[in-house]
Amino acid sequence: MGYKHLDYLKRCKIQAFVHAGYTQQQIADEIGVHKSTISGELNRNLTFVRTRLGYWTYKANYAQKYADDRQRDKPKYVKPMIRLRHLLSRS
């Protein structure tokens, strides 16, 4: 079984279910992913809404932006031997 990223549509469904009061297990069952996927998604991508009292909520558009930013900022993978050759050639 391969690893799959959550797409924007699934994030929109998560947002709707969270706002409707579903539990993480119910959301996972509805979307067809493991409950730890939902838990991790909510922990990584909660957004603070600035009001007089303020509160944390899940917003799909922000979650997608955060995920895209994390993917973009990740360094490109370089095979270890190529990197070692590059480092040795510099000396």
Largest interatomic CA distance in the chain: 61
Q: Is residue 1 part of a domain?
A: no
Buried-state track 27-41, b at ≥16 Cβ within 10 A, e below 16: bbeebebeeebbeeb
Read off the pLDDT of residues 5-51 as tens digits, 9 standing for 90 and up: 899 999 999 999 999 999 999 999 999 999 999 999 999 999 998 98
Q: Is residue 84 part of a domain?
A: yes
Domain that holds residue 16: 8-89
Q: Is this prediction's pTM over 0.85?
A: no
> Which two structure tokens, joined as six digits, stand for 12?
């929109």
Which CATH number fits the domain that encloses residue 78? 1.10.10
The total of structural domains in the chain comes to 1
CB-based contact 49:55 (threshold 8 Å): yes
